[in-house]
Amino acid sequence: MKIFEANISYQVSVFLKEKLINVTSFESANQKMFDVCGIKYFFDNNDDFKSLILLITNTNKDLVAEPDREEYGDFQTNADLANKVAKYLSTKGISPKLVIEPTCGKGNFIIASLNNFKEIQTIIGIEIYKPYVWETKFNILDFFLLNSDSNKPEIKIIHSSVFDFDFQEISKQFQSEDLLVIGNPPWVTNSKLGSLNSTNQPKKNNFKNQNGLDAITGKGNFDIAEYITIMLLDAFQTHNGFLSLLVKNSVVKNIVFEQKIKKYQIKEIEKYCIDSKKEFNVSVEASLLYCKLNSKPTFECKEFDFYSVESKLKFGWLNSKFVSNIDNYLETSQVDNICPFVWRQGIKHDCTAIMELERVNSHFVNNLSQDIRIEEDLVFGFLKSSDLKNIVIEKTRKHTIVTQKKVGQETNYIKELYPQTYEYLNNNLNRFMDRKSSIYNGKPKFSIFGIGDYSFKPYKVAISGLYKTYHFTLVLPQNKKPVMLDDTCYFIGFEKIEYAVYSIILLNSKITEEFLRSITFPDAKRVFTKDLLMRLDLLKLAQLITRQEIDEQIILLNNKYTLNVDFSKWAGFLDEMKPEKDKQMTIFD
């Protein structure tokens, strides 16, 4: 049964009918409800009270279809999981006086807290969606109708956006109470909210200080849950107590990462991995983040399986390095330095329909299946993450139009030099104008990003940023032209095939894989990033790997791909990687 779009049990609806039918003011109704279930303001005002009376005497009238709640990141925690979380916390000896649920939804964490913590004096729940505020209140009432002898804290369920709520005020008011912040903040990112034109956003939306470049690299994208967790740490880090929130794994990682700078007064940072498919029917890796407040800051996080509490690994800061597996990292840490070559992200054009072409006989076909006849000059072979499966790539499935040689270059030159290409691009101008990202604002018409001299290097060594395959690919020129990669890929480029081959051998070595495994987070949206790849010291790797191993790999590659590469340029390669001041004059290179 539903009232105000909120589920209500039969028992609660009967209770409300019997107890409130003859009550005339909402103040006396509130007093009655407080006595039964501890909720301080069951009815916010007289209108709330009158509408409820009307509905319970005439139930089932308000059955409204659930609205689209994508912008609210609405994944309600099931009662069983909420109860397991609270129970586990109580086995750790946690028994709060004050419980705060920042986005309480239907209230399952509040009920779980009532079930498991017997010394609570105050509960504060906040929720933006009014039907859930009602449902939480109904659920609390239901709990006390079933458990009338249970400890009855003072409870406030507040209809508000968490972003408008003054946690600092609560922090001052309850300075000395033992606190538990518990819940499951919304699972939605600021980029998703942007694309939905949603106003359900923090006011200080730029809390990661993102700029135009971050929009390209994806660094400016953050989870609303991360923002909320940080709000809560800001307000309560100096309180005695604990914070325990279900969040995406990326949020836990970011909180630990930020800890180096923020130095929140938290310790015993722990992450309990849950099965999100089973609990929420979604394919997002999520965990319970747990930490003790009001403590000397710590910088690492222990990871466990939530169900077995089996310890998995430890990640976090080891001196000045952020690593995903502290124990394994120690075995390969000697290659953690600075890569002598600059890793680059591939081309971003945000116009797949027009910019991605397939060659069919003597012409091209675009992603809209239109036949395109344009000059060859600006068309280059193009690889995406999914293409980087083999060790060596000589031929591409796709092509792209490279409209600029560097970012910001005027694109009008195309009209004169390549009239067919210009006509094709200009006929589709609206598609370029419709590109959402602000990075294209005020830029030449057919602008692309991730382009520079480096894009035109003939030999490239590339990896997909998206896949958790620790595997690098050698990309060879196609028809004497360099091949381009898309912005999901990272690469280093070389003029000499030998340098590219030596690099691929070093990068596909066991030691590189072990090192990368100890610094990457396989559940991240982008497993590899430029920052991460820049940590690979290729010079150190070249010193660690034996001549015999390199020789063997050169022979294998030559046999399989007829590359005709030998060891003769190795010294020049090493020299190229040395810092400027250490370089030798290599005459015969």
Ligand X SMILES: C[S@@+](CC[C@H](N)C(=O)[O-])C[C@H]1O[C@@H](n2cnc3c(N)ncnc32)[C@H](O)[C@@H]1O
C-alpha distances out from residue 560 to 377, 469, 497, 565, Å: 31, 22, 16, 12
CB closer to ligand X, 96 vs 186:
186
> Residue 244 Cβ, how far from ligand X at the closest point, in Å?
11
Parallel, antiparallel, or unpaired for β 300-305 and 363-366? unpaired
245 vs 99: CA distance, rounded Å: 12
> Residue 89 Cβ, how far from ligand X at the closest point, in Å?
14
C-alpha distances out from residue 184 to 81, 103, 539, Å: 11, 7, 45
| Ranges within 74-133 binding ligand X (CB under 6 A) | 74-77, 103-105, 108-109, 126-129, 132
- Choices 72-80, 423-431, 500-508, 520-528 (CB under 6 A): range interacting with ligand X: 72-80
CB closer to ligand X, 76 vs 121:
76
Is 138 near ligand X (CB under 6 A)?
A: no
Q: Using the rule CB under 6 A, which residue among 30, 190, 200, 276 binds ligand X? A: 200
Is residue 483 within 8 A of residue 455, CB to CB? The reply is: no
Order across the sheet with 344-345: list the strands. 344-345, 489-494, 459-464, 473-475, 392-393
C-alpha distances out from residue 263 to 237, 258, 266, 293, 324, Å: 10, 8, 8, 12, 19
**Applying CB under 6 A, what is the total number of residues that bind ligand X?**
24
Q: Residue with the closest Cβ to ligand X?
A: 105
30 vs 519: CA distance, rounded Å: 55
CB closer to ligand X, 272 vs 446:
272
Per-residue interface string for the shown chain with ligand X, residues 22-61, x marking contact by CB under 6 A: ----------------------------------------
- Choices 160-168, 293-301, 467-475, 546-554 (CB under 6 A): range interacting with ligand X: 160-168
Nearest Cα to 256, choosing from 300, 319, 223, 219?
300
Is residue 473 within 8 A of residue 393, CB to CB? The reply is: yes
Is 190 near ligand X (CB under 6 A)?
A: no
> Residue 246 Cβ, how far from ligand X at the closest point, in Å?
7
- Choices 159-167, 235-243, 261-269, 545-553 (CB under 6 A): range interacting with ligand X: 159-167
> Residue 172 Cβ, how far from ligand X at the closest point, in Å?
21
Is 73 near ligand X (CB under 6 A)?
A: yes
Beta bridge partners of 433: none
CB closer to ligand X, 135 vs 537:
135
Q: Using the rule CB under 6 A, which residue among 99, 155, 162, 539 binds ligand X? A: 162
Residues in the chain, overall count: 589
> Residue 136 Cβ, how far from ligand X at the closest point, in Å?
9
CB closer to ligand X, 116 vs 184:
184
> Residue 186 Cβ, how far from ligand X at the closest point, in Å?
4
CB closer to ligand X, 100 vs 379:
100
Nearest Cα to 256, choosing from 299, 227, 292, 223?
299
326: Cβ–Cβ under 8 A, 6 or more apart, which residues? 300, 313, 314, 315, 316, 318
469 vs 389: CA distance, rounded Å: 9
| Binding footprint of ligand X on the chain (CB under 6 A) | 72-77, 103-105, 108-109, 126-129, 132, 161-163, 183-184, 186-187, 200
